[in-house]
Chains A and B, each alone.
Chain A
Amino acid sequence: MIHVTTTINGDETEFVCDPRETLLDVLRDRLSLTGAKEGCGTGDCGACSVTVDGTVVCSCLVLGAEAEGKEIGTVEGIATGEDLHPIQQKFLDHAALQCGICTPGILVATKALLEKHPDPTETQVRYWLAGNLCRCTGYDKIIRAVMDAAKDMRSAA
């Protein structure tokens, strides 16, 4: 077993894991952070998206042991207490989710997108989120929510 010290959503966190466990396994099964979902487990669907030192990655493609000394961001860190992040609110406003399995990953990926590109084109958004599969919505509502969130966040900035 490996002892790992890391930072998750700003809080220093320690865990012990088997070397074979992915960061996703650790988050869900050892730390009870079940926002990140396992869709495919092979880096295709993006449901397990988290940030590692600010870069969005699939946590199913990261070993838990690799988290040592890193800053991990998950969907649980997006809201401030009871106050939803503007992206989260826009997803509700636009009904940009149905079953919700893909939503945490899309929120994490969208937050990273808007931090890097506050004024993205629709094409940019579609390519950025191409690795986040949704089998319910057909994507248009998601894209509208992201564009609207970007607009609001720009005017608030």
Chain B
Amino acid sequence: MQYQAPDSFDAAVTLLNAEQGMARVLAGGTDVLVQLRAGTVEPDLIVDIKRIPGVHDITAEDGGWRIGAAVSGVELNAHADLCADWPGVAEAHDLIGSTQVQGRATLTGNLCTASPAADSVPAMVAAGATARVQGSNGTRDVAVEAVGTGPFKVSLAQGEVITSIFLPARGANGGDAYLRFIPRTEMDIAVVGAAVSLTLDGDKVASARVSLGAVAPTVLLVEGAANAIIGTSLDDAAMDKLAATASAACNPISDKRGTVEFRTKIAGVLAKRAAKIAYDRAKG
């Protein structure tokens, strides 16, 4: 195995394209090093992107935030303005692992690992986040929900790398939230996750995005669930419809952490609770 730490994404892409065997991009390494140790991946090349200028930066852009691919949970949650705009995203990422893992784990890495149970991904999907992808044909922006294609599978082509995540402008009267169910209080993997981002016009929901995690092979963007609350003030009927559409969108597996029936029911419960928090945050 070769280890390279290039000083530009151009150089990183060149290295990745030149590799005949398996290559892995290293950001925080909280998944990659576990895979290396377990022997589930045996790469010929590791490309560490953390020496590339700008990858640790969070910069204001078009009213939103561009987050470098190597920004850790600690760095993300230390950014007061970003946390004020997108508390749901910041809290979702902060739920991952321990203090030690937060010192390294990145949004980009969580997205690229493509676990259906990734905590930060539903929050990013609800937020309407995009990933900037660089490859040999230049750069493109892709919706976060289009990155994962199945458990631990992504839509990126060989040699492509995510250079940053963009959280759009929060705008006035907006709020977001992410909730997960775990049987413990810390250090666990989501049995179900639900994220809601919405904006208000007066007391009514003007726009909304609802995303679910750990209830399907990929993180889901559930348009029907968003439509259930748009135009309402989250009255009981709207909340019931939100829960029903969220549960109906689920296509989970049964495993040691939860059954199909449990996950399906809890997805609706958490969607309602997250919507309420997002609504209250939007009210300010």
Contacts and interface: CB of A to CB of B under 8 A. Distances in A.
B34 interface: yes
B30 interface: yes
Chain A contact residues: helix, strand, loop or mixed: mixed
A130 interface: yes
A29 to B, nearest CB: 15
Given A2-B3, A65-B5, A131 B72 contact: no
A41 B103 contact: no
Residue in A58, A109, A129 whose Cβ sees the most chain B Cβ within 10 Å: A58
Contacts of B36: 20
Interface in A36-58: 41-44, 46, 49, 52, 55-58
Interface residues of B, number: 26
Residue in B2, B29, B74 whose Cβ sees the most chain A Cβ within 10 Å: B29
B1 interface: yes
B258 to A, nearest CB: 20
Given A61-B33, A65-B48, A43 B5 contact: no
B34 A61 contact: yes
Interface string B1-16: 1110100000000000
A43 B33 contact: yes
A68 B187 CA distance: 30
A93 B268 CA distance: 50
Given A20-B36, A61-B30, A63-B29, A43 B46 contact: no
Given A19-B1, A19-B3, A20-B1, A55 B33 contact: no
Contact of B33 (A19, A56, A60): A60
Interface in B184-200: 186-187
Contacts of A58: 98, 100-101, 104
B50 interface: yes
Interface string B36-50: 111000000010101
B40 to A, nearest CB: 11
Contact of B99 (A2, A44, A56, A68): A56
A61 B33 CA distance: 6
Contacts of A55: 72, 74, 103
A61 B28 CA distance: 8
A58 B3 CA distance: 20
Interface in A1-54: 2, 19-20, 22, 41-44, 46, 49, 52
Given A19-B1, A41-B37, A52-B103, 4 more contacts: A56-B99, A61-B104, A129-B99, A130-B99
27 contacts: A19-B2, A19-B3, A19-B46, A20-B1, A20-B36, A42-B38, A43-B30, A43-B34, A43-B97, A46-B98, A49-B100, A55-B103, A57-B100, A60-B37, A61-B100, A61-B101, A63-B3, A65-B3, A65-B5, A65-B48, A66-B5, A66-B26, A66-B29, A66-B50, A112-B99, A127-B99, A128-B99
